[in-house]
């Protein structure tokens, strides 16, 4: 087919390249966010992880095949590809909602292990929306770019791959700085909608689509993202503990932690389970007694695992205790917990090494 744009073809080529880059960026960016949610629901089970990535590739292949066999509709999809890629946003929201509700749908309580025979089918089906769109959009994009501004297919691969690499780096940095998944998702949606809006403006000379990234930015600046985060946190908390006991949250690169007051204890929840209750005097006393029975003259202690802080506090009450080292699998968890923990529960921390 002849090139559609004679005037401004250079600008159009750049805008098309921006869309292709944004598609790759968004795909890998939201994959990381969805995988993070997936791990929370399925408890980081190794088989579930295998199910996530294998099903992601499967549905990507199905999407690419669907684009190949729907030859009659391809010209329409190519002409409206700029609008078509915006379906990525609702597809991601749908998939995240399905992942969050998977336990309710499967009839598995939050405090129960997800049965293997239920886990694998759900892990397989839940990945369909975004990964199907990924395969579909990429296949259509190859023809769309070639028809409009004579972009070689190899360039499409390069731009999509560069976008994916950038998306992986950016989402890692944002999560490492403690940004919540909802705000991170809006950042990716702003980039995708901005690229689509600029290309639509170049093609149609119509800036209407640019209102979408403006709306996303407005949502962030008006506090809408923060309200969305609080709603998601309260829902996650209420799946285990009554909602009225929820107090707040903090984040580390490894996950988001919710905390509140429940039955007179400071309680921390993450990944659909209670990870800390402070003070947990009875449990901590049992653990200390079991280990001291093996070596009563111990003076230095290393504590790792669940309820670690309560155990550290209990050990410090021993007259012979000199130092207690607190080791957590999440390196930043201890420091963040102590920032929000009431002072009367924290006690004397001078002899605790984190």
DSSP, residue by residue, 18-34? HHHHHHHHHHHHHHHHH
Helix boundaries (H) for the chain:
9-42, 46-69, 74-79, 81-84, 88-100, 102-106, 116-125, 128-149, 153-176, 181-204, 211-221, 224-238, 281-294, 308-316, 333-340, 343-346
pLDDT of residue 262: 84
Strand partners, 258: 249, 269
CA distances from 234 to 14, 86, 263 (A): 43, 29, 18
Pairwise CA distance, residues 114 & 118, whole Å:
7
Kindly report the number of other CB atoms within 10 A of residue 228's CB atom: 18
Pairwise CA distance, residues 326 & 300, whole Å:
11
pLDDT of residue 336: 87
CA atoms within 13 A on the CB side of 105: 14
pLDDT of residue 4: 42
Within 8 A by CB and 6+ apart from 296, the residues are: none
- Which 3 state secondary structure label does DSSP give 98? helix
**Global pTM?**
0.79
Within 8 A by CB and 6+ apart from 332, the residues are: 252, 253, 254
Smallest Cα–Cα separation from 268: which of 255, 259, 278? 259
Per-residue pLDDT of the chain (354 residues; tens, 9 = 90+): 444 433 346 767 777 888 889 999 999 999 999 998 888 777 666 777 888 888 899 999 999 888 887 766 667 777 778 888 899 999 999 999 888 888 777 777 766 777 777 777 887 888 899 999 999 888 888 877 776 666 677 888 888 999 999 999 999 999 888 888 888 999 999 999 998 888 888 776 777 778 888 888 988 888 888 888 888 888 888 877 888 888 888 888 888 888 888 888 888 888 777 888 888 888 888 888 988 888 888 888 999 887 888 888 888 888 888 888 988 888 888 888 888 888 877 777 777 888
> What letters, b where the CB count within 10 A reaches 16 and e where it falls short, cover 258-288?
bbbebeebbbbbbbbebbbbbbbeeebeebb
pLDDT of residue 6: 37
Sign of CA dihedral 171, 174, 175, 179: negative
CA atoms within 13 A on the CB side of 327: 5
């Amino acid at each position: 087919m002849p090139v559609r744009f004679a005037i401004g073809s250079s600008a159009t080529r750049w805008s098309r390249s921006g869309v292709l880059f944004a598609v790759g960026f968004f795909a890998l960016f939201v994959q990381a966010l969805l995988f993070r949610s997936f791990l929370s629901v399925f408890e980081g089970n190794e088989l579930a992880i295998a199910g996530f990535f294998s099903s992601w590739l499967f549905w990507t292949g199905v999407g690419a095949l669907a684009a190949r066999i729907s030859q009659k509709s391809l010209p329409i999809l190519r002409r409206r590809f700029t609008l078509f890629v915006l379906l990525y946003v609702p597809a991601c929201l749908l998939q995240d909602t399905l992942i969050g509700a998977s336990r309710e749908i499967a009839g598995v309580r939050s405090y129960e292990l997800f049965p293997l025979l239920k886990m694998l089918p759900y892990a397989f089906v839940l990945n369909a929306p975004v990964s199907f769109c990924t395969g579909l959009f990429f296949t259509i994009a190859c023809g769309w770019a070639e028809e409009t501004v004579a972009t070689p297919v190899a360039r499409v691969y390069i731009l999509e791959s560069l976008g994916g690499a950038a998306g992986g780096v950016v989402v890692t940095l944002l999560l490492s700085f403690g940004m919540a998944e909802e705000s991170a998702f809006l950042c990716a949606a702003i980039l995708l909608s901005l690229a689509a809006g600029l290309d639509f403006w170049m093609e149609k000379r119509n800036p209407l689509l640019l209102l979408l990234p403006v709306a996303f930015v407005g949502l962030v600046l008006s506090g809408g993202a923060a309200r969305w985060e609080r709603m998601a946190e309260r829902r996650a908390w209420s799946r285990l503990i009554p909602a009225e006991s929820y107090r707040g949250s903090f984040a580390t690169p490894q996950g988001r932690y919710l905390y509140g007051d429940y039955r007179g204890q400071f309680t921390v929840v993450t990944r659909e389970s209670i990870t800390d209750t402070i003070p947990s005097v009875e449990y901590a006393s049992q653990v200390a007694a079991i280990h001291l029975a093996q070596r009563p003259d111990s003076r230095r202690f290393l504590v790792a695992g669940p309820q670690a802080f309560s155990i550290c506090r209990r050990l410090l009450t021993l007259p012979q205790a000199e130092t207690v080292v607190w080791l957590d699998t999440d390196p930043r968890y201890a420091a963040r917990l102590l920032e929000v923990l009431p002072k009367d529960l924290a006690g004397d921390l001078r002899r605790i090494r984190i």
